[in-house]
Chain A
Amino acid sequence: KAGVTQTPRYLIKTRGQQVTLSCSPISGHRSVSWYQQTPGQGLQFLFEYFSETQRNKGNFPGRFSGRQFSNSRSEMNVSTLELGDSALYLCASSLALMDRNTEAFFGQGTRLTVV
């Protein structure tokens, strides 16, 4: 069974641009969570989508947004890119809304570099 697929794997953007990252969860999984990983801040939760609705949100500015489609695929958008947005963005899928009993399966991530 296919794992979590994130596209693209690598991306280079210029300051001020916007970017859209995509995540296809494991077949049958309905929840998608996004995390940002940077050397300085480590792994930080961005948001979780379940049944096309945002169910939880981390402490990120409004430039970071997302959505989920009816097939559970999710996209994450960052507008007005800043140098500090350079990071590995990880997507995790789970069968149901994330709780302590739900295992999250992570994709390989999208490495975003802002220049």
Chain B
Amino acid sequence: AQSVTQLDSQVPVFEEAPVELRCNYSSSVSVYLFWYVQYPNQGLQLLLKYLSGSTLVKGINGFEAEFNKSQTSFHLRKPSVHISDTAEYFCAVSDGQGGSEKLVFGKGTKLTVNP
């Protein structure tokens, strides 16, 4: 079964600073990776996904992530954060062999952007 590790449970940064949220996954033959964001009292929203092709994936709200197969990582980055980026971020992998697949999530990283 697939698993995901988010290395930082909390990341505080100042507004307009760059940020990187780290995610490592368990190796498998094929891997499909996702980043979701959860704002307070909200559900999850898809930021970006990696299925195949270019290892640099661009998502919404200025976020991007890089798939690194040799390091089994899929870190999320943003060059300049805003107060409104304060939220919890979840890395996930799709687990399944055809048929129905489920999302396996990491424990989440709480990003706090301070003025």
Residues of A within 8 A of B (CB): 4, 33, 35, 42-45, 48, 50, 55-56, 58, 90, 92, 97-101, 103-104, 106-109
Contacts and interface: CB of A to CB of B under 8 A. Distances in A.
B84 interface: no
Contacts, number: 65
Chain B: number of interface residues, binned into ranges: 20 to 34
Nearest to B41: A108
Interface of B: 32, 36, 41-46, 49, 51, 90, 92, 94, 96, 98-108
22 contacts: A33-B102, A33-B103, A35-B105, A42-B108, A43-B105, A43-B108, A44-B105, A45-B104, A48-B102, A55-B100, A56-B96, A58-B102, A98-B96, A98-B100, A98-B102, A99-B96, A100-B32, A101-B51, A103-B49, A104-B46, A106-B36, A109-B43
Nearest to A50: B100
Contact of A104 (B32, B51, B103): B103
A17 to B, nearest CB: 25
B23 to A, nearest CB: 13
Contacts of B41: 108
Contacts of B49: 103
B105 A97 contact: no
Given A99-B96, A100-B32, A106-B36, 15 more contacts: A35-B105, A42-B90, A43-B103, A43-B108, A55-B99, A56-B96, A90-B44, A98-B100, A98-B102, A98-B103, A99-B99, A99-B101, A100-B51, A101-B51, A104-B46
